[in-house]
Amino acid sequence: MSYNDEVARLLFEFADRLEAEGVEYKPNAYRRAAENIQEYPEPIDQLAATGQDAVEEIDRVGDAIASKIVEYFETGEISELEDLRESMPVDMAALTSVEGVGPKTVGKLYDALDITDLDELEAAAEAGEIQEVSGFGAKTEQNILDNIPFARQSQKRERLGEARPVADAVTGYLAESGAVERVEVAGSIRRWKDTIGDIDVLVASDDSEAVVDAFTAWDDADDVIEAGTHKSSLRADNVRVDLRVVVPDEFGAALQYFTGSKDHNVKLRNVAIEQGCKLNEYGLFDVSDLDDAEGTAADSVDDSNETTDTGSQREGVRLGGETEAEMYEELGIDWVPPELREDTGEIEAAADGDLPTLVETDDIRGDLHTHSEWSDGRFSISEMVAAAAERGYDYHSVTDHASGPGIIEDIGLTDDDLREQMAAVDDVRADAAIDVLHGVETNIDADGALSTDDDLLAELDLVVASPHSALGQDTETATSRLCRAAEHPAVDIIGHPTGRMINSRPGLSVDFTALAETAAENGTALEVNANPVRLDLHGEAVRAVVGAGGTVAINTDAHSPDNFEYVRYGVHTARRGWAEGGDVLNTKDIDGLEAFLE
């Protein structure tokens, strides 16, 4: 975690605790400052070392907040935050991870029932104590109780976007070691699941002890959990990283095995058994001439996805193991991209030669959902367009928030604001090196209506319609709501369709098959929001869109140029849904894009 992220986390906590205490206005100021510090390109610790004036150069960071940041770097704590923690000793992060429990609710429940953590919250709800608190009722209490399991789960798994940078850093570090021949991540992070339990790293080397020594000496590690001759574990940025070292000619077999999923591996193992072979982490072996060959092969993988080494794991004629590709090839099937390895038909498709040619990050030709300083972005339209051009994009769409349900009043643009913005976009367009589209992110209300005037929507180049409120609706209501928006003649893209925030709120429950069919019939794309906090649509929903012959748009929802980097998370999420380049709106050139929008 960078110092910028660390300070931002403290300021977000400061805001939550102030809000829990009933303080007005200040919480939003702290949150705005935290957001800007996260995105600030210079290290906050270096600014603080220069002095308070340097810290105040960051937008929305005034003297009061700047002084606290300097205090943190000088003393290791913020005294006022420590006082807030002492006056209300609650696990704020855990409690507010429950859908429907915000900082104010935490404060009320602490004052009334001394609730400080999830266990106490659950016990109070089960005992019917919460509904007795003024302002609460039986329905609210039940909603809290229903959402606690999701909150517990969110505390156990890391978002992909938080773990992947750690994985990239450690694999990049190990790749520089002379003892390392090959290094790859494995497990769910290689399959690009939206949350992961830990980071699995696999290394090919003939000198495992040297690799372990290098791994445990990594400067970015917070602490070493354990170290052996072939395995080691450490913690970095609060994520566990597990290292396994194998000999080079077994690397492909181990990579396939430890990438998973378990269901994919079991299915693949059964394919091997049917061919008189044995498949495990050491390789693919022909065991047809061995006694009890079927039993030997079947012992290669157990339900825990761990090998039971009985001394027979390498018996038989070795057919492959150095690379993943040869493992699949020897079984007569195409290599399966990691994102597809969930036993949802990929092995059958690979056997028939029918795997999709999945979309690649380089296929994306522009971002169709971005924000500027006109709403809650932190850069001007011209700065965002210039960054898109520098990235090599062909086009860029400005889609600032419209006012409406779920949008803070001073962030969303009124219809008059949007008309004024048209002129600003025209000015940028005149000098831009790429095509610039003017659009809006309008809001889908609880009934499916939009928050921007229809006549104005018709004048814009592109319309993204997104849900930002009433996210607790039942499946039928939520699906009908999104379908109504998808049917609107001005809507081009349904943005982050469920509104979920990974590990924070589950979002709308949607019948994705019905939504995908409606969207396809009306020529409306469904967004894969690439922000790693969202990844919405998720992979299973993308597959429904692809199956319906529909279109997805992979957008970053960028609020700063740095956010364009999120696109890879969106692409890999779309790949998990079997999306090809032709299924994605913003792989089209500008003529193809405009034809779709028309």
Q: What is the mean pLDDT of the chain?
A: 93
Which residue is listed with tokens 């098959």? 513
* Residue 305 confidence (pLDDT): 41
Q: What whole-number distance in Å separates Cα of residue 576 and Cα of residue 358? A: 9
pLDDT-based confidence at 126, cuts 50/70/90?
very high
Q: Report whether 320 contacts 283 (CB < 8 A).
A: yes
* Residue 1 confidence (pLDDT): 55
* Residue 149 confidence (pLDDT): 87
pTM: 0.79
Q: Is 193 helix (H, G, I), strand (E, B) or coil?
A: coil
More confident residue, 60 or 586: 586
* Residue 291 confidence (pLDDT): 64
* Mean pLDDT in residue range 553-573: 97
Distance of CA 514 to the CA centre of its chain: 25
Q: Report whether 61 contacts 55 (CB < 8 A).
A: yes
Say what the alpha-carbon torsion angle 105, 91, 152, 515 is, to the nearest 10 degrees: 40
* Mean pLDDT in residue range 503-526: 94
* Mean pLDDT in residue range 41-53: 87
Q: Using omega within 30 degrees of 0 as the cis cutoff, is the peptide bond preceding 382 cis?
A: no
Cα→Cα distances 434→198, 367, 489, Å: 41, 12, 27
* Mean pLDDT in residue range 495-518: 93
Residue type at position 21: E
Residue type at position 3: Y
Residues listed for the chain: 598
Q: Is the pLDDT score of 514 beyond 90?
A: yes
Instruction: Give phi and psi for 423, each to the nearest 5.
Output: -65, -40
Which residue is listed with tokens 């709120």? 505
pLDDT tens figures, 298-319: 333 333 344 444 347 888 999 9
pLDDT-based confidence at 290, cuts 50/70/90?
confident
Percent of the chain with pLDDT over 90: 83
* Residue 154 confidence (pLDDT): 65
Q: How far apart are the first and last CA of the chain?
A: 44
pLDDT tens figures, 106-120: 999 999 999 999 999
* Residue 238 confidence (pLDDT): 81
Question: DSSP assignment of 346-381, as one string?
Answer: HHHHHHHT----B--GGG--EES-B--TTTT-SS-H
Q: Using omega within 30 degrees of 0 as the cis cutoff, is the peptide bond preceding 537 cis?
A: yes
pLDDT-based confidence at 38, cuts 50/70/90?
confident
Q: Is the pLDDT score of 297 beyond 80?
A: no
Q: Is the pLDDT score of 422 beyond 60?
A: yes
pLDDT tens figures, 71-92: 999 998 999 999 999 999 999 9
pLDDT tens figures, 453-490: 999 999 999 999 999 999 989 899 999 999 999 999 99
Question: DSSP assignment of 462-528, as one string?
Answer: EEEEEE-S-TT--HHHHHHHHHHHHHSTT--EE-STT--BTTTB------HHHHHHHHHHTT-EEEE
Contacts for 463 with CB less than 8 Å, ≥ 6 apart: 439, 440, 442, 452, 457, 490, 491, 492, 493
* Residue 152 confidence (pLDDT): 82
Domains annotated on the chain, with CATH: 3-156 (1.10.150.110), 158-246 (3.30.460.10), 262-352 (3.30.210.10), 361-597 (3.20.20.140)
Give strand pairing partners of 399. none
Say what the alpha-carbon torsion angle 263, 268, 273, 277 is, to the nearest 10 degrees: -140
Contacts for 48 with CB less than 8 Å, ≥ 6 apart: 54, 55, 69, 70, 72, 73, 74
pLDDT tens figures, 222-240: 899 889 999 999 999 888 9
What is the helix (H) or strand (E) element at residue 318, kind and residue range?
Answer: strand 317-320
Q: Is 392 helix (H, G, I), strand (E, B) or coil?
A: coil
